[in-house]
């Protein structure tokens, strides 16, 4: 009975080529690891599997490049997955994010972790989940993609099984993640019960009508979905897992969680609220604005008290989520573009920070702020790059953080949320204090030793590209903004097309 309806769906499997590449590459890495030396050799250092990290990065880049074939297309696979400029932007973005994470992981994994094949395979599979979150056009597809991303990160967060912090952080992340997934799924069931559909555009069409008799059930479902997504992006009060997961996870995975999990969460957040819940914006706008203020306040104020650099960056990332939530609260074509632009600037900057920390940890095995004393004498290039990235996170002029925050705050002010933009500016100044503490240690602190660190050329090359990205977005954001604007326009165009179809006689 279902076959006639099924034949009307678009099953162009080539539309999923980037995901097929990632899955196939992940399987190949596991097999390659199986036949590439022994675990005993890896432990003793006689057999290195460092090249696996670079092969994994090549796979992520290959998937990102293949995604470019669909620039300008507006297609849908099986009425479940959109393939358009919005999807393409995030496919490329997520692929490059994973590539930098794999490059940063290579030496770290070789020295400290076992089973590198599975490690890199899980990173690539997490990108498949992130791609699905950005591409999904209905709720169950989005949920399955979210779970694929989440389960990959749960395992990776606890991958250093000989470190109790990693076990603890991964367990907390998994348990709270399972709870939040149940909340999100229950919210989906309520929304489906009210609207009769799980497709974003169909939900939006129903909500354009009279919802006075179903407001309570609908708003409860919406609140539960916000709670589930709030956990994934680490918004207050759903942030409890973040400091322990950041501190316990292997350093490259901390970087991946901070970059991939948050950006995928906001890719889904933005698309879902634009296409499905935009008609109810007056009902949820100030709720999201309140979450934004609470997230900015807690993240930035608690970060001041941290002594461990990973925990400091955990609370810093929570504060950054508060800024991103402004783009949801002020939802419009302009604020959507500003949100995605700031997210790109934040991820590039945050990756630069974490690459610096990973390089330093590979040298010293230390991650406390006081351990960075005198870094400018022992590794001047590293200290310079880390300072640039930290100033960018604080929103200082000339760097990506200033340009992207300025555009984001301006878009919020244009939507009658000037007070929220003022709060964000205040907490940006607060964040400068704890970033300057790190810079102070590097340039004014007394080093324990004065010997220079060796030069890791490949990691320095990746770091140079990231810092160049920070400077480029800060000094000339127009090309990136144009690409972002073209991509976000597609999700608003889908809403208009759906409305036009519904109005036909």
pTM: 0.91
The tens digit of pLDDT for each residue in 108-124 reads: 888 887 888 899 999 99
Beta bridge mates, 136:
81
pLDDT of residue 243: 87
Q: What is the mean pLDDT of residues 129-133?
A: 93
Q: Is the dihedral of CA 346, 352, 355, 361 positive or negative?
A: negative
Lowest mean pLDDT among 61-70, 238-247, 471-480: 238-247
- Cα–Cα distances (Å) from 270 to 112, 260, 302, in that order, read 38, 15, 27
Considering only residues 74 and 191, tell me which one the structure prediction assigns the higher pLDDT. 191
Q: Give the integer Cα–Cα distance in Å for 384 and 371.
A: 17
pLDDT bucket at 5, cuts 50 / 70 / 90: very low
Model pLDDT for residues 283-337, shown as the tens digit of each residue: 889 999 999 999 999 999 999 988 889 899 999 999 999 999 999 998 888 999 9
Q: Look at residues 94, 98, 84, 67 and name the one whose alpha carbon lies nearest to residue 137.
A: 84
pLDDT of residue 40: 44
* Residue 268 C-alpha from the chain's centroid: 11
Who contacts 6 (Cβ-Cβ below 8 Å, separation ≥6)? none
Q: What is the DSSP string of 418-484?
A: HHHHHHHHHHHHHHHHHHHHHHHHHHHSPPS--PPPP--HHHHHHHHHHHHHHHHHHH--HHHHHHH
From 324-333, 439-448, 461-470, the region with the lowest mean pLDDT: 439-448
- Kindly tell me the burial class for residue 301, based on how many C-beta atoms sit within 10 Å of its own C-beta (0-12, 13-18, 19 or more): middle
Displacement of CA 154 from its chain's centroid (Å): 15
Place of tokens 């791609």: 131
- Comparison of pLDDT for 220 and 497, the residue scoring more: 220
Beta pairing, strands 81-83 & 75-77: antiparallel
Q: How many domains does the chain have?
A: 1
Instruction: List, in sequence order, every residue forming a beta bridge with 77; answer none if it has no partner.
Output: 81
C-alpha distances in angstroms, 89 versus 63, 84, 174, 320, 366?
Answer: 12, 9, 29, 21, 36
265 is in which domain, residue-wise?
A: 3-502
pLDDT digits (tens, 9 = 90+) for 322-379: 999 999 998 888 999 999 999 999 999 999 999 999 999 888 888 888 888 888 888 8
| Residue 495 pLDDT > 70 | no
Chain-wide mean pLDDT for the chain?
A: 86
Q: Which residues pair with 138 in a beta bridge?
A: 199
**pLDDT computed for residue 213 by the predictor:** 65
Say whether pLDDT at 211 is over 70: no
Alpha carbon separation from 137 to 3, 151, 252, 355, 359 (Å, rounded): 21, 21, 31, 34, 40
Helix (H) / strand (E) element for 349: namely helix 333-364
pLDDT, tens only, 70-99: 887 788 888 888 888 999 999 999 999 999
CA–CA separation, 480 and 71 (whole Å): 15
Residue 194 phi, psi dihedral angles, 5° rounding: -80, -45
350 closest CA partner among 384, 394, 295: 394
CA distances from 264 to 26, 95, 136, 187 (A): 20, 12, 11, 19
Q: How far is CA 187 from the centre of its chain?
A: 22
Closest among 328, 380, 361 to 254, alpha carbons compared: 361
pLDDT grade, residue 210 (50/70/90)? low
């Amino acid at each position: 009975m279902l076959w006639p309806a099924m034949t009307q769906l678009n099953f162009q499997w080539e539309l999923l080529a980037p995901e097929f590449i990632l899955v196939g590459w992940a399987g190949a890495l596991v097999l390659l690891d199986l036949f590439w030396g022994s675990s005993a050799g890896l432990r003793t250092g006689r057999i290195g599997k460092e090249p696996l990290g670079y092969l994994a990065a090549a796979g992520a880049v290959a998937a990102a490049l293949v995604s470019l074939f669909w620039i300008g297309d507006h297609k849908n696979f099986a009425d479940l997955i959109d393939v358009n400029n919005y999807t393409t932007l995030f496919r490329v973005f997520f692929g490059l994010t994973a590539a930098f994470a794999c490059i940063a992981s290579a030496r770290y994994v070789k020295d400290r972790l076992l089973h590198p094949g599975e490690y890199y395979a899980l990173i690539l599979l997490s990108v498949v989940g992130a791609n699905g979150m950005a591409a999904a056009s209905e709720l169950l597809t989005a949920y399955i993609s979210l779970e694929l991303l989440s389960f990959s990160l749960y395992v990776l967060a606890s991958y250093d099984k000989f470190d109790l912090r990693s076990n603890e952080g991964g367990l907390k992340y998994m348990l709270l993640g399972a709870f939040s997934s149940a909340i999100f799924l229950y919210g989906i069931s309520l929304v489906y019960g009210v609207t009769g559909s799980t497709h974003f555009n169909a939900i939006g069409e129903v909500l354009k009508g009279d919802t006075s008799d179903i407001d309570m059930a609908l708003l409860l479902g919406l609140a539960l979905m916000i709670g589930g997504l709030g956990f994934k992006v680490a918004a207050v009060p759903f942030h409890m897992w973040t400091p322990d997961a950041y501190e316990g996870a292997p350093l490259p995975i901390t970087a991946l969680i901070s970059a991939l999990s948050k950006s995928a969460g906001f890719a889904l957040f933005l698309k879902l609220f634009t296409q499905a819940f935009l008609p109810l914006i007056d009902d949820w706008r100030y709720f999201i604005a309140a979450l934004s203020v609470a997230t900015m306040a807690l993240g930035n104020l608690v970060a001041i008290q941290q002594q461990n650099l990973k925990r400091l960056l955990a609370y810093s990332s929570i504060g950054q989520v508060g800024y991103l939530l402004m783009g949801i609260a002020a939802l419009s074509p302009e604020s959507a573009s500003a949100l995605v632009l700031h997210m790109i600037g934040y991820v590039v900057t945050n990756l630069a920070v974490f690459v610096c920390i990973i390089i330093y940890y590979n040298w010293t095995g230390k991650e406390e702020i006081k351990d960075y004393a005198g870094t400018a004498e022992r590794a001047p290039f590293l200290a310079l790059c880390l300072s640039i990235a930290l100033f960018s996170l604080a929103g200082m002029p000339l760097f990506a953080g200033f340009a992207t925050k300025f555009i984001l705050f301006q878009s919020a002010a244009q939507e009658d949320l000037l007070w929220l933009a003022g709060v964000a500016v205040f907490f940006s100044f607060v964040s400068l204090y704890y970033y300057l503490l790190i810079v102070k240690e590097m340039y004014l602190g007394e080093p324990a030793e004065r010997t220079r660190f060796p030069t890791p050329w490949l990691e320095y090359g990746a770091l140079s590209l990231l810092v160049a990205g920070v400077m480029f977005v800060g000094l000339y954001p127009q090309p990136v903004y144009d690409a972002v604007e073209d991509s976000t326009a597609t999700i608003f165009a889908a809403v208009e097309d759906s409305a036009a179809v519904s109005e036909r006689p």
